[in-house]
């Protein structure tokens, strides 16, 4: 019995060694086979969707890749491990991006198109082939049919680097088609409105964001001595954010600041009548242009647009407030003398008014202009007072809070 027991134990020991050796050989062989083949990502295999969790598929679709890469597989694996370790899975059916433009917070940032332009596009073909040119500047005229020939002369002073936009206050648009340039211009027709009414509604800063400079001009300007490209070069050279061409001195001027000086390219300061300027760096002695033919940089226009009041359509008072949209204003606002224009003073807006209380139509329009100037000044003064008062209240609250804490 003793011999039998020892023989049985020896045989079991040998069997155990065989099992261990076989297991070791199998693991080693499997390892060698494994490293001899490239790694296989599950996302490379064309499996039916029922074999993959819906969350995984949505991740691959969101990545936008039809062919997986090792990096994308790592990201997928990492995403899964993070989901498992976090408090809960990400709800991919909901998006909220607070840095998106107001109203677009529910959109993924990559699809948000916050800006536009006036570039004309085709109705066919590929969108990226639509534009043969992208004008860098915009010029607008508020026009009636009686000034058709003058506007034709004006437009010819602007190169193809300008988008032409006409605001029609008399409703007559088709008559302009006799000019070849009119067929590619933008036409907006609303009867009996002013250029600042149009500007507030159709020249939002996000709409004109593609343009480096925006010209907002009247219809009664003589441009014989004006060239738009040369004007732009001077504006850039002298760092002007808000500007206008100099005005012909012999044509009834209101302000000395806008009078052309024959010996200068640009001027930014002038002398006015005694008592008119409380500060030589403030309007009307500096930081001042008129509203008949202003030119704005993109950044300056973004500020000015927000300052235009929705109900004050004539823009009177804006010229004295433009300095708030350029800093330092007495350096960034000026008059270009070597590219000058003539104000022909055609009373076109007067004819768009109505006779009230025995007053001629033009008189009613003029009375409205003066009233708006007073209203604008009052609103600006009150807005400033409210702002500085709010700062005092905040400062007082802050100091009280600090004292309580101490």
Answer whether 207's CB lies under 8 Å from 117's CB: yes
Q: Specify the pLDDT at position 252.
A: 62
Q: Specify the pLDDT at position 394.
A: 74
Kindly give, in sequence order, each residue whose CB lies less than 8 Å from that of residue 144, ignoring residues fewer than 6 positions away.
168, 169, 170, 172, 219, 348
Binned at pLDDT 50, 70 and 90, residue 401 comes out as low
Residue entry with tokens 């890469």: 69
pLDDT in tens, 202-261: 999 999 999 999 999 999 999 999 999 999 999 999 999 999 999 988 766 779 999 999
The angle formed by the CA atoms of residues 399, 404 and 406, to the nearest 5 degrees, is 95
Q: Which two tokens stand for residue 198?
A: 């149009």
Q: Specify the pLDDT at position 367.
A: 92
**What SS3 state is found at 202?**
helix
**What SS3 state is found at 42?**
helix
Answer whether 344's CB lies under 8 Å from 334's CB: no
> What's the gap between Cα 195 and its chain centre?
21
How long, in residues, is the chain?
Answer: 406
Reply yes or no: is the peptide bond before residue 284 cis, omega within 30 of 0.
yes
User: What is the rounded average pLDDT of the residues 300-316?
Assistant: 97
DSSP class per residue in 233-295:
HHHHHTT-SEEEEEEPTTS--S-STTB--TT-SEE-B---STTS-SSTTSTTTBS---SSS-E
pTM: 0.75
pLDDT at 43 over 50: no
42 burial level (CB within 10 Å; 0-12, 13-18, 19+) = middle
Binned at pLDDT 50, 70 and 90, residue 396 comes out as low
pLDDT in tens, 121-173: 999 999 999 999 999 999 999 999 999 999 999 999 999 999 999 999 999 99
Q: Specify the pLDDT at position 192.
A: 93
Q: Specify the pLDDT at position 345.
A: 80
């Amino acid at each position: 019995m003793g011999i039998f027991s020892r023989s049985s134990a020896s045989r079991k020991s040998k069997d155990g060694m065989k099992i261990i050796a076989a297991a070791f050989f199998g693991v080693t062989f499997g390892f060698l086979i494994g490293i001899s083949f490239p790694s296989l990502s599950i996302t490379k295999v064309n499996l039916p969707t029922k074999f993959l969790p819906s969350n995984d598929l949505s991740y691959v679709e969101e990545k936008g890749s039809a062919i997986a890469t090792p990096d994308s597989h790592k990201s997928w694996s990492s995403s899964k491990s993070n989901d498992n370790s976090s408090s809960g899975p990400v709800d991919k059916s909901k998006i909220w991006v607070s840095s998106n433009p107001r109203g677009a917070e529910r959109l993924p940032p990559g699809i948000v198109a916050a800006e536009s332009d006036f570039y004309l596009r085709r109705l066919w073909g590929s969108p990226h082939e639509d534009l043969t040119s992208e004008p860098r500047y915009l010029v607008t005229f508020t026009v009636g049919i009686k000034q058709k020939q003058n506007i034709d002369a004006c437009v010819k002073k602007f190169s193809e680097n300008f988008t032409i936009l006409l605001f029609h206050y008399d409703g007559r648009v088709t008559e302009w088609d006799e000019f070849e340039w009119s067929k590619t211009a933008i036409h907006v027709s609303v009867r009996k409105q002013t250029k600042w009414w149009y500007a507030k509604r159709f020249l939002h800063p996000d709409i004109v964001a593609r343009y480096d400079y925006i010209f907002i001009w009247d219809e009664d300007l003589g441009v014989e001595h004006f060239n738009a490209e040369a004007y732009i070069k001077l504006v850039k050279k002298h760092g002007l954010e808000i500007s206008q061409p100099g005005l012909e001195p012999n044509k009834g001027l209101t302000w000395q600041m806008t009078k052309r000086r024959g010996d200068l390219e640009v001027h930014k300061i002038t002398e006015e009548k005694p008592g008119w300027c409380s500060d030589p760096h403030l309007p009307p002695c500096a930081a001042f242009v008129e509203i008949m033919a202003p030119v704005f940089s993109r950044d300056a226009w973004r500020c000015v647009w927000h300052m235009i009041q929705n109900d004050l359509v004539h823009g009177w008072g804006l010229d004295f407030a433009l300095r708030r949209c350029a800093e330092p204003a007495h350096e960034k606002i000026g008059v270009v003398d070597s590219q000058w224009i003539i104000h022909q003073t055609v009373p076109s807006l007067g004819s768009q008014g109505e006779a009230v209380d025995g007053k001629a139509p033009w008189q009613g329009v003029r009375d409205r202009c003066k009233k708006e100037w007073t209203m604008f000044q009052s609103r600006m003064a009150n807005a400033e007072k409210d702002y500085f008062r709010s700062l005092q209240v905040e400062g007082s609250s802050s100091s009280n809070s600090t004292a309580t804490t101490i």
